[in-house]
């Protein structure tokens, strides 16, 4: 496949030579053949001319859920990867929350084979424990050998402190990345939203910040003792940012992420009992939201994720107490982040994080495989159901004002636009 991107403004904050320059980009058989002010190519080359076309390195999302195998009514691998591609993501890390759960090497091989022809590359996580039950470690080394980029019992905190210690020690031998979801279930109890003024006003059971922070303190103490690599996904409180910043100052190998929705909304959105806003971790206060944004800007928070979690209508359009957690977020991630941050920061956030998972970061230069995202950063619109590409429509961003439209990607010798 040969294509020519015409008059594309390149957004590459780490590349002074190309950053904000308008260039033609020739791609032949999936490889960047030439980058110049004006290219006139003849023959079997497809020209791509789009309104206010901007191009960056392909985007990366560290926390995406689909449904297949087991929950295809929520999302299939094929449509999930197409949604990711149309949303600008050339690489996604897939959470282990299917049925059966991926807790063996054969499960990882299945996911890789099921996604091998897609434009967006799927990188699979395996479970940390067998069936994510928290009783015994899964086949970590075998899954790593089969291609797993890390290990995670999705949204399930590990209650057994000794098992986390053993996991970190064992995975350290082969540079494995252990995930630990920050939530003390005994402190959280039957809470479903942030504990505070709003939960009291609405009569909903709350989850205090302490439930998250207590688990982080425990995990950091264990990491300091064992060594190894720890990732704390989707933090949500101001004190969590502070705790992780202190650990990094000590030189500990810890990373963390935050979900886009925790940067955009607070628990004040719950006043209408809309189950689209029932999330885990829950939406916190305005002071927490500001601390998370500050943590991104000062580098404490390593990367941002859509935390995309499709959920079928039967699990969402029910009473708030009974609704499942989660929101889709791939389609709206860029438009929401581009509202909060300037364009350079937004693109930096969307392109970082691969190294933590041992994934090679693409290069924006001649001779390299093309892994590019195509977008218009200026178009403003209201996010509505017509913009949803996922099989499920459980989006907490419906009705939100977005800034920036994604055209698609060029990746794996394919163009999706």
- Give which of 58, 177, 28, 46 is closest to 118, Cα–Cα: 58
Query: What pLDDT score does 396 carry?
Result: 97
414 class by beta-carbon count within 10 Å (0-12 exposed, 13-18 middle, 19+ buried): middle
Tell me if residue 325 is catalytic.
no
Tally of helices (H runs) and strands (E runs) in the chain? 13, 17
Is residue 231 within 8 Å of 257, Cβ to Cβ?
A: yes
**What domains appear along the chain, each with residue ranges and CATH number?**
2-54+366-416 (2.30.40.10), 58-357 (3.20.20.140)
CA 101 to chain centre: 19
d(C-alpha 113, C-alpha 27), whole Å:
26
pLDDT digit string (tens) for the chain, length 417 residues: 899 999 999 999 988 889 999 999 999 999 999 999 999 877 789 899 999 999 999 999 999 999 999 999 999 999 999 999 999 999 999 999 999 999 999 999 999 999 999 999 999 999 999 999 999 999 999 999 999 999 999 999 999 999 999 999 999 999 999 999 999 999 999 999 999 999 999 999 999 999 999 999 999 999 999 999 999 999 999 999 999 999 999 999 999 999 999 999 999 999 999 999 999 999 999 999 999 999 999 999 999 999 999 999 999 989 999 999 999 999 999 999 999 999 999 999 999 999 999 999 999 999 999 999 999 999 999 999 999 999 999 999 999 999 999 999 999 999 999
Three-class secondary structure of residue 364 per DSSP: coil
Query: What pLDDT score does 41 carry?
Result: 79
Active-site residue (options: 142, 267, 307, 342):
307
């Amino acid at each position: 496949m040969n294509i020519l991107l015409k008059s594309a403004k390149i957004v590459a904050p780490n590349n002074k030579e190309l950053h904000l320059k308008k260039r033609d980009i020739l791609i032949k058989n999936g490889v960047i053949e030439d980058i110049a002010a004006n290219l006139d190519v003849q023959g079997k080359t497809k020209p791509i001319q789009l309104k206010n076309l901007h191009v960056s390195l392909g985007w990366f999302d560290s926390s995406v859920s689909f449904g297949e195998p087991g929950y295809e009514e929520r999302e299939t691998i094929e449509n999930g990867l197409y949604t990711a591609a149309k949303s600008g993501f050339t690489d996604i890390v897939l959470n282990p929350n299917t049925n059966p759960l991926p807790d063996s090497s054969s499960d990882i091989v299945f996911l890789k084979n099921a996604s091998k022809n897609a434009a967006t590359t799927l990188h699979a996580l395996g479970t940390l424990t067998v069936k994510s039950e928290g009783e015994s470690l899964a086949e970590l080394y075998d899954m790593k050998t089969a291609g797993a980029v890390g290990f995670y019992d999705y949204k399930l905190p590990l209650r057994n402190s000794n098992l986390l210690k053993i996991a970190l020690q064992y995975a350290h031998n082969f540079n494995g990345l252990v995930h630990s979801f920050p939530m003390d279930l005994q402190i959280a109890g039957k809470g479903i939203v942030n504990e505070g003024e709003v939960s009291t006003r609405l009569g909903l059971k709350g989850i205090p910040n302490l439930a998250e922070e207590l688990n982080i303190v425990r995990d950091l103490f264990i990491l300091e003792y064992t060594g190894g690599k720890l990732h704390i996904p989707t933090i949500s409180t101001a004190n969590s940012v502070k705790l992780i910043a202190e650990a990094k100052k000590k030189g500990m190998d810890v990373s963390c992420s935050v979900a886009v929705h925790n940067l955009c909304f607070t628990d004040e959105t719950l006043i209408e009992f809309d189950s689209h806003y029932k999330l885990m971790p829950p939406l916190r206060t305005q002071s927490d939201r500001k601390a998370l944004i500050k943590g991104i800007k000062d580098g404490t928070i390593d990367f941002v994720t859509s935390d995309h979690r499709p959920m079928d209508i039967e699990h969402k359009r029910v009473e708030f107490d009974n609704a499942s957690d989660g929101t889709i977020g791939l389609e709206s991630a860029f438009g929401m982040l581009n509202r909060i941050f300037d364009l350079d920061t937004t693109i930096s956030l969307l392109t970082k994080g691969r190294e933590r998972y041992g994934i090679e970061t693409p290069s924006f230069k001649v001779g390299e495989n093309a892994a590019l995202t195509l977008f218009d950063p200026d178009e403003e619109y209201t996010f509505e159901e017509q913009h949803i590409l996922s099989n499920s429509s459980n989006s907490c961003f419906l009705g939100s004002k977005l800034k920036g439209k994604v055209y698609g990607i060029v990746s794996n010798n394919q163009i999706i636009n």
